[in-house]
Amino acid sequence: MKHQKKGRQFGRVRNQRKALMRTMLGSLILNGRIVTTEAKAKELKSVIDRIITKAKRAHSVGAPQYVIVRKIQKDIPLVAVRALVADMDRFANRTSGYTRVVKMTPRNSDRAKMALIEFV
């Protein structure tokens, strides 16, 4: 049974899942949008929303930039953290729902469900 188990496993062990999410989060922040499978996009959406909310809370308190960086650095690469902190004004008028997932046509090679995830 799957009681109180959340998140997707993607057929990977924990360290591989963490590395996958970390690189996808960095790519999403730096590029603004990425194309990936639907399951990965849905998982990524929940993670990125939590990270942005955490950064916004620290930013609104008036914490110095290094405090914000320390709070979210373990989740995403440092380059992406700096880009996110520098572009915090983009999320100022939203309380949640910073990203959207748009379903696309399946991938030709294996017919996997694909999706585009981007910032709103």
The domain 34-119 having CATH identifier 3.90.1030.10: the answer here is yes
Q: What is the mean pLDDT of the chain?
A: 90
The band of 4, judged by pLDDT with boundaries at 50, 70 and 90, is confident
- What are the tens digits of pLDDT across the range 72-102? 888 888 899 889 888 888 898 999 999 999 9
Q: Which residue has the tokens 């748009």?
A: 102
Domain chopping of the chain, boundaries: 34-119
Residue 48 clears pLDDT 90, i.e. is over it = yes
First to last CA, the chain: 36
pTM, entire model: 0.87
The band of 29, judged by pLDDT with boundaries at 50, 70 and 90, is very high
Q: Could you tell me which of 40, 2, 38 has the C-alpha nearest to residue 20?
A: 40
Predicted pLDDT at 68: 74
CB atoms within 10 A of CB 85: 16
Predicted pLDDT at 32: 95
| Residue 51, both tokens | 């990270």
The band of 59, judged by pLDDT with boundaries at 50, 70 and 90, is confident
Sequence-distant (6+) residues with CB within 8 A of 109 are none
